[in-house]
Structure 1
Amino acid sequence: MSRVAVIGAGITGLAVAALRADRGDEVVVLEALPAIGGRAGSWERDGFRFDTGPSWYLMPEVFDHFFELLGTTTDAELDLVDLQPAYRVYGEGEPEPIDIVSGRASAVATFEAREPGAGARLEAYLDSAAEVYDLAVSRFLYDPYTSLAGLAHRDVLRRLPTLAPLLARSLARHVEQRFDDPLLRQILEYPAVFLGTSPYEAPSLYHLMSHLDLDDGVRYPRGGFTEVIAAVARLATARGVHIRTDARVTRILTDGDRTLGVQLADGEIIEADHVVSTADMHHTEQLLLPSESRTRSDRWWDTRVSSPGALLLLLGVEGELPQLAHHTLLFTADWATGFDAIFGAEARSNPVIPDPASLYICRPSATDATVAPAGHENLFVLVPMPAAPELGHGGEDGAGDPLIEAAADAVIAQIASWTGIPDLAERIRVRRTISPADFAADFGAFRGGALGLAHTLRQSAMFRPGNRSALENLHYAGHSVLPGVGLPMCLISAELVVKLMDGDTGTGRLSVPERAEG
């Protein structure tokens, strides 16, 4: 039995803890904030309960595998609802929104209705997306890249003629060579935002994302994504994990090439045979470790591309909002200019929040009566913006910094105008804004980014920071390291660390252990 200290009680830290405790380790999870969840947090007021982070349940087989590793099933732990439509899209200047219904036949029919011939091209696009997705899951995502042996596997080598062009061109170029309709292009390009990047920077390998929403479908865990966090925490504590909140780690203790444990803000020292940090790698290395123990140099970090920042609006609204689906996207006509404002050269030197913005709205009350009082709606709005903490903090009921609140006002007005809800602002009963400055303060987020490092080619797969540190018994997990951003990726990241702590550098998933019945 080893003593393991895990920094951070987001989904990654809780997953690492559950898996290590299942192996018999003594595990403590140390969370700086008053509640667990990290970016997948929850906030409540006046009968409204908001998820403050992830809201798309994708890659279901990753969740299935994780729960199976712990002797249970997704069905036993979560109450999942299939969303139909998967999402609704309002395009600037379009007379009517488009509902995207999951399933190959429905998606093909939608594309064909807007652009003759696009249906057949979407069929080929989704065939390719499914093939690349299957290859990613089987050969790339569970690889810790301690060597390049996995890339020499015959499944990878025989697909090189297909993979090489997908790495060499951007997602936007890949889409725009196949489809002419601007709104259809946007539907296929927008998933790059879920990867913390722009479709003009993401390699077209990531067209695999369209397999998830158009082919595979979108689900929602009833009760919200806080139920996913609660399920993982429940499995961890059942195995003896001690989860401590309000326990901020301020120092990782080192001796030569090893860590001895961690020190908390109140001076308490927790000795450990292994430390796993699920905080941002940049925060861990720059603030928790001495310079000689860091894996990456200051110069290396200076050249990294952060994910975009995010302006979040949590809105409790009186009355119903049938104009919005569970998931709704608003796309501006000047698509490229909007992304340039977020990712371009000016974004760091002179950051501004796009207005109008391409943005995302989650209305979980469309599906779940538990998240809002009767006769009211719950809205979570995400506006991609430059990762610029200097623009100010958010707050409750308009009490955030002026620039942030003015941008929130503009977003509310845009939603009202584009979706036909003219009295939206007057119906808001609860309001909270969250900005990059809040991500930096609460999570130690690199440059205030919402999602860690962007998934550019130079920050994906073997080029992304790995899970091993310069210290032999310190490991990194979470969205800033392998394999990437999003709840499924964070579960895989936890599994990669567990493998490495076992001395397993293989490229496949952990085997599901046999358990005695009863």
Structure 2
Amino acid sequence: MTDRRTIVVGGGIAGLATAALLARDGHEVTLLEARDELGGRAGSWKQDGFRFDTGPSWYLMPEVFEHFFRLFGESIEDHLDLVRLDPGYRVFADGYDAPLDIAADRAANVALFESVEAGAGRALERYLDSARETYELALERFLYTNFDSLAPFADRTVLARTPTLATLLTRSLDAHASRTVADRRLRQVLGYPAVFLGGSPYEVPAMYHLMSHLDLEQGVQYPMGGFHALIDAVEGVARRAGVRIRTGAPVTGIRVADDGSARGVTVTDATGATEQLDADVVVSAADLHHTETELVPERHRSLPEPAWERRDPGPGAILALLGVRGELPGLTHHNLVFTDDWPANFDAVFGDSPRVPDPASFYACMPSATDRQVAPSGDSNVFVLIPVPADTGLGHGGVDGAGSSAVEAAADRAIARLAEAAGAPDLAERIVVRRTIAPADFARDLNAWRGGALGPGHVLRQSALFRGSTRSRKVRGLFYAGGTTVPGVGLPMCLISAELVAKRLRGDRSAAPLPEPAAERV
């Protein structure tokens, strides 16, 4: 395995982590990133003293991050200053006068549910017991596997849970939440994690109620300095492992030999000049649709274009990055704003006649509530995310209202609703920095399929063993990492996908995480 020349395409967290793990295993690794900066979806933008994360903003599943750094004999505390948020987030729901503050621990959230609805506290206890059990089972058996062996599923623990798992896989998350509590706001708190998975609570399987273990029991953390601090830390791990990183190096083709094996890539610079780089192994951490339909030669594609028509791209998003003069005491770090007609909202995003929902449920992050590095003193940094269809036809965003009319209008409506929720009627007048990002930007800048913001949705037919593989079915030596492969979307899942590529190349068919150095010495 040692000294294999390996090229990793894409410098998001999945590409950086894959490159680091393979270099640790003795590969000679070069990482190629098309843009001038690393991070992919976990990007960053600065303007007039405001610094915005342009992607992930929820730090969940801390054990996955801790495990990754321990694989290199390092501690995450050496790299990140993590702050536990309390409240974890605030919920504003149409039709209710007061918001709900979701606390940083289970006991407080049980008490909150009970204060809203008699009996809901005890019901939440049962719900969270099941969520924790399902989450732990997922970590032990389902997340760290390439599904190339049935042995992990023949375990007595899994077999004993089969009837329950069958129910959780065939019932929707919304139906599961509705069996637990009656109050609409509480159902929405239990159902909204579907959006983190790129889906609708009416379509995502109830198995993903495990997400409630993360926010209602484990709590939400935040890395001071923003999420690009995490990207910087993973980049540092990769460089120390010996990875050579090249930015401004767009890969325009994956070269395949006559015998069907990967032989390297073609890089084309802004002038049109091409460069061919040889490799024994190629790992694409770029969007899988882009890789399969643009980079891999047509006759070697595992998934040709027609096959994608039957797939769910997950949601798009309109983002609004807002620098606001003064403070917004009515908001906390994370804020969710829910409409009263959720079925109509999700039908607009995921239904047969996709459109920008109006009114729309949306998410607003104000990291300046926690981190004074992200805004000038006394001012507020606000990031608004409105789920919309994955449709590049919605157009591009822009700075100072220069985006397409549909994009800017959706942002204006969200700002007006946020002003009402925050008790800040002059919010729009206080905005001094404004940038919108839309599906066409995700497609142009990140090669995201149909302009999707997250990756393919976690509907049943795109979950677990039905999700994209980490290995090409047609090209030997070609592997895939990132949110479009197993186990799924989100930063922790991308770290796990990197580990799954390393396991493939090691010939490790287990369902367990890679052993950490301390464990190997025992």
Query: 1:431, 1:242 → 2: CA distance?
Result: 36
Q: Does 1:402 align with 2:412?
A: no
Helix, strand or coil for the counterpart of 1:346? coil
Query: 1:458, 1:496 → 2: CA distance?
Result: 20
Helix, strand or coil for the counterpart of 1:447? helix
* One-letter amino acid of the structure 1 residue matched with residue 510 of structure 2: G
1:504, distance to aligned residue in structure 2 (A): 1.4
Query: 1:263, 1:122 → 2: CA distance?
Result: 54
1:472, distance to aligned residue in structure 2 (A): 1.5
1:385 pairs, out of 384, 388, 412, with 388
Contact 2:328 2:422 in 1 (8 A): no
2:164 pairs, out of 162, 165, 177, with 162
1:283 pairs, out of 286, 290, 306, with 290
* One-letter amino acid of the structure 2 residue matched with residue 354 of structure 1: P
Query: 2:94, 2:46 → 1: CA distance?
Result: 33
Helix, strand or coil for the counterpart of 2:204? coil
Helix, strand or coil for the counterpart of 1:260? strand
Query: 1:90-130: per-residue Cα shift (whole Å, max 9, x none)?
Result: 01121111111021110111000010000000000000000
1:513, distance to aligned residue in structure 2 (A): 2.4
**Aligned residue pairs: how many?**
513
Contact 1:90 1:419 in 2 (8 A): no
Query: 1:447, 1:152 → 2: CA distance?
Result: 38
Query: 2:265, 2:124 → 1: CA distance?
Result: 52
Q: Does 1:461 align with 2:464?
A: yes
Matched residue, 1:116: 118
Query: 2:166, 2:64 → 1: CA distance?
Result: 26
Matched residue, 1:501: 505
1:197 pairs, out of 199, 215, 219, with 199
Contact 2:87 2:103 in 1 (8 A): yes
Q: Does 1:325 align with 2:332?
A: yes
Query: 2:205, 2:520 → 1: CA distance?
Result: 45
* One-letter amino acid of the structure 1 residue matched with residue 318 of structure 2: L
Helix, strand or coil for the counterpart of 1:338? helix
Query: 2:340, 2:137 → 1: CA distance?
Result: 34
Matched residue, 2:181: 179
Contact 2:80 2:230 in 1 (8 A): yes
Query: 1:403, 1:182 → 2: CA distance?
Result: 30
Report 1:481-496 matches (<5 A).
Answer: 481-496=485-500
Matched residue, 2:481: 477
Query: 1:51-70: per-residue Cα shift (whole Å, max 9, x none)?
Result: 00000000000001000001
Matched residue, 2:241: 239
Q: Per the alignment, do residues 359 and 516 of structure 1 end up closer, same or farther by CA in structure 2, a change over 3 Å counting?
A: closer
Query: 1:325, 1:421 → 2: CA distance?
Result: 14
Query: 1:290-339: per-residue Cα shift (whole Å, max 9, x none)?
Result: 11111123332110011100000100000001111000000000111000
* One-letter amino acid of the structure 1 residue matched with residue 312 of structure 2: V
Matched residue, 1:261: 264
Query: 1:317, 1:226 → 2: CA distance?
Result: 21
Structure 2: stretches of 5+ with no match in the other structure: none
Query: 2:147, 2:308 → 1: CA distance?
Result: 20
Contact 1:92 1:418 in 2 (8 A): no
Query: 1:198, 1:175 → 2: CA distance?
Result: 13
Matched residue, 2:321: 314
Matched residue, 2:425: 422
Q: Per the alignment, do residues 202 and 476 of structure 1 end up closer, same or farther by CA in structure 2, a change over 3 Å counting?
A: same
Query: 2:150, 2:300 → 1: CA distance?
Result: 25
TM-score by length of 1: 0.97
Query: 1:262, 1:397 → 2: CA distance?
Result: 39
* One-letter amino acid of the structure 1 residue matched with residue 53 of structure 2: D
2:347 pairs, out of 326, 340, 352, with 340
Report 1:442-453 matches (<5 A).
Answer: 442-453=445-456
1:239, distance to aligned residue in structure 2 (A): 2.0
Contact 1:11 1:491 in 2 (8 A): yes
1:514, distance to aligned residue in structure 2 (A): 4.8
Query: 1:31-58: per-residue Cα shift (whole Å, max 9, x none)?
Result: 1111000000101111111000000000
* One-letter amino acid of the structure 2 residue matched with residue 363 of structure 1: M
* One-letter amino acid of the structure 2 residue matched with residue 182 of structure 1: R
1:194, distance to aligned residue in structure 2 (A): 0.1
List structure 1 runs of 4+ shifted beyond 4 angstroms.
514-517
